Amino acid sequence: MRILGVDPGLTRCGLGVIEAGASRSVALVEVVVATSEPGDEVPRRLAVIASALEAVLDKHRPEAIAIERVFAQLNVRTVMGTAQVSGIVMLAAERRGIPVALYTPSEVKAAITGSGRAAKPQVGQMVRRLLGEGVPSGPADAADALAIAICHAWRGAVAGARAEEGIATPAQARWADAERAARRTRSKPPVP
């Protein structure tokens, strides 16, 4: 499955494309950091990011898009720019019929490093370890976009399979797991 991970930002927007296969295998396809000039008007900046996004979508035709969820920060301007770019990505996905998933920074860090409190350098190091030498060492937006894509490959695929089973909430997932375990126990022959 080809996945586009997006680390949204108005000045720098990471766009990382991976190919996800069986057994959690992932391979780097391409990573781009789209940039806009801070001195330009916001509509112009959004148009620049949108053009870069459209080019990646046209070139790689991902089957899913994963975006880092906007979270509250002290800097309202940063949050606004991030939210605006996220909106552009969601609109482009909707127009192309591509499903979108949102992940918090801690969900991405936990998926990649095992800790939701991992530092950015740890995330970058793990992404490079998973995807190989083609991952640039900077800027962090590139590794973050790839981490978001990997997070979706590892967590989104499970969620997608669960949705096909009619499981929508964590409680339903626990119930379904318990039911499967009970069926396995009942189907085992008695021990002599």
Range from 93-102, 149-158, 168-177 that averages highest in pLDDT: 93-102
pTM, two decimal places: 0.81
Q: What are the residue ranges spanned by the domains of the chain?
A: 2-167
Q: Which class is domain 2-167?
A: alpha beta
Residues annotated catalytic, as ranges: 7, 68, 141
Full DSSP string of 54-97: HHHHHHH--SEEEEEPP---S-HHHHHHHHHHHHHHHHHHHHHT
Task: Please state the rounded mean pLDDT for residues 125-149.
Answer: 93
Predicted pLDDT of residue 52: 98
Query: pLDDT (tens digit, 9 = 90+) per residue, 67-83?
Result: 999 876 667 878 899 99
CA 122, 127, 133, 138 dihedral sign is negative
Task: Please state the rounded mean pLDDT for residues 91-114.
Answer: 96
Band of residue 2 on the pLDDT scale cut at 50, 70, 90? very high
Q: Which amino acid is at 132?
A: G
Averaged pLDDT score across all residues of the chain:
87
The three-class DSSP label of residue 44 is helix
Predicted pLDDT of residue 39: 96
β-pair type (12-20, 2-7)? antiparallel
For residue 132, give both structure tokens: 């190989």
Task: Answer yes or no: is pLDDT of 64 > 70.
Answer: yes
